[in-house]
Structure 1
Amino acid sequence: MNYETLLKSFDEPDELREFELGRFEIIKVAGISIGRATYQPGWKWSLHNAAAAGTALCHAPHTGVAIAGHGVVLYEDGQRLDLLPGLVFHITDVPHDSWVEGDAEYVSLHVLGI
């Protein structure tokens, strides 16, 4: 039998996106991409990512799990989601803002491609 085992680390991601108060590391393995988002206190999507995206709010869907800290998602209709460690989330493509709540960094893992 031929067993192929592949180990990768976020310390050496396949892709790294860095921006003010945050970074997003991507690892590609077995036909999927897994991302690790790390945001510092004070990070807010509408302040730190909107200009690069060209939209006032995020329109991308996100599916993942919160690992550390406290993230908040606020949909344009006012619905708020608090992302806390251990919670699995699916954020739809309905326009939303997000930010780090409190003084600890927020870390989450994201499934990017299935």
Structure 2
Amino acid sequence: MNGIEIKSFDKADETRTFEANGWADVVMVGGQPVARGHFQPGWRWSRDVKPIAETELCQVSHLGYCLEGRMRVTMSDGSEREMAPGEVVAIPPGHDAEVVGDETCVFIDFGEVAEYALRK
């Protein structure tokens, strides 16, 4: 990279739709993908992304910031945490997740999203 690179999610390089209840806009910046997910009420990873990922649980490591809404993440060991607006989170692989409440959860993800919700 030779200079400053600026991208906008409003002109995303790619939009990945889930089976239902949302989508993720992806931009490539600094050679890395960054995603802005829109997880609508009723969204659940095991219902809306699992058919795309073809894995039992989400195997992506997420590092991000919750802009709006709430999301509950359940790890394979049964432990749960809930994120809310203004919170920064790190989520390891091996989890399910679901929107909590009736507000869309908007999440900026700087994690390993190169293959997240990418249809084969």
Q: TM-score range by the shorter chain?
A: 0.7 to 0.9
CA RMSD in angstroms comes to: 1.6
- List 4+ stretches of structure 1 deviating above 4 A: none
Which residue is 1:107 aligned to? 106
Match of 1:44 in 2: 44
8 Å Cα contact 2:61-2:111 kept in structure 1: no
What does 1:17-96 align with in structure 2 at a 5 Å threshold? 17-19=16-18, 20-93=20-93, 95-96=94-95
Task: Tell me the CA shift for residue 8 of structure 1.
Answer: 2.1
Residues 44/5 of structure 1: CA separation in 2 closer, same or farther (3 Å cut): same
User: Which structure shows the bigger proportion of residues in strand conformation?
Assistant: 1
Count of aligned pairs between the two proteins? 110
SS in 2 for 1:46: helix
Moved more, 37-46 or 47-56: 47-56
| Amino acid corresponding to residue 68 of structure 1 in structure 2 | E
Structure 1 contact 62–91 (Cα < 8 Å) conserved: yes
Cα separation, 2, equivalents of 1:77 and 1:30? 35
Shift of 1:56: 2.2
Query: For the pair shown, which has the larger CA radius of gyration, 1 or 2?
Result: 1
**TM-score between both structures, scaled by the size of structure 2:** 0.84
TM-score relative to the length of structure 1 = 0.88
Deviation at 1:29, TM superposition (A): 1.6
- Look up the match of 1:10: 9
**For residue 43 of structure 2, what is the amino acid of its counterpart?**
W
Unaligned runs of 5+ in 1: none
Check the 8 A contact 2:41/2:102 in 1, yes or no: yes
